[in-house]
A and B are shown apart, each in its own frame.
Chain A
Amino acid sequence: NAGVTQTPKFRVLKTGQSMTLLCAQDMNHEYMYWYRQDPGMGLRLIHYSVGEGTTAKGEVPDGYNVSRLKKQNFLLGLESAAPSQTSVYFCATLKGANTGELFFGEGSRLTVL
């Protein structure tokens, strides 16, 4: 039982390049989230999904796109990476409304030069 798996775990990009982060979960959870974490800023919500085929904007969605074509996968895309997107990205899942416990992936460290 892998839980929540993020790939890749590390990536270095040049400004303007594109990339996709994959979050895969095997727990059949409905809700999935993408956060970014920067020093002194805590975890900020980028986008989230409450089920297959649905996505919604979080606190800091600009510069990112997401898709949830399959229930188990939540993809985060950067179409044209910028140095301001250098961060650690965490994916998390939640079983359902008011269940409380978020299950996190190990994080993906992205550096944009």
Chain B
Amino acid sequence: RKEVEQDPGPFNVPEGATVAFNCTYSNSASQSFFWYRQDCRKEPKLLMSVYSSGNEDGRFTAQLNRASQYISLLIRDSKLSDSATYLCVVIPNSGGYQKVTFGTGTKLQVIP
């Protein structure tokens, strides 16, 4: 089983829709979680961190479920500019050596 798994999509949604992505991880000792956004042929950029209590940033909500070992990203009122690939990132609590692992990414296409 891969350390971090995501549904690759693509998710094709109309403007204004709400869409959610999940990301599962296998290492129960994982410490920190993040969502990154990657536009076509560009480098990934941090979208938001994921906190145990859940957190929100405008139209984006991130949640962590440690018991089931997954994180989620919810996007409300989708915009055309949200079209991108969304990557989840897991950082283990491994005693100082940081092996940062990415999911394969979920592609979102917002349609007019």
Contacts and interface: CB of A to CB of B under 8 A. Distances in A.
Contacts of A42: 6, 87, 102-105
Interface in A31-65: 31, 33, 35, 40-45, 48, 50, 56, 58-59
A94 B87 contact: no
Quick one: which of A35, A42, A98, A106 has the most chain B CB within 10 A? A42
A104 interface: yes
Counting chain A residues whose Cβ lies within 8 A of the other chain, the interface size class is 20 to 34
Interface of A: 31, 33, 35, 40-45, 48, 50, 56, 58-59, 88, 90, 92, 94, 97-98, 100-102, 104-107
Given A48-B98, A97-B96, A98-B32, A41 B104 contact: yes
B26 interface: no
Interface stretch (B38-46, B53-61, B66-74): B38-46
Interface in B26-40: 31-32, 34, 36
B43 A107 contact: yes
Nearest to A98: B32
A50 B98 contact: yes
Contacts, number: 65
A58 B43 contact: no
A36 to B, nearest CB: 11
Contacts of A45: 99-102
A90 B89 CA distance: 15
Contacts of B103: 42
18 contacts: A31-B100, A35-B102, A42-B87, A42-B103, A42-B104, A43-B87, A45-B101, A50-B97, A56-B97, A56-B99, A59-B101, A98-B31, A100-B46, A100-B49, A100-B91, A102-B36, A102-B89, A107-B41
A34 B91 CA distance: 15
B34 A100 contact: yes
Interface in B1-34: 6, 8, 31-32, 34
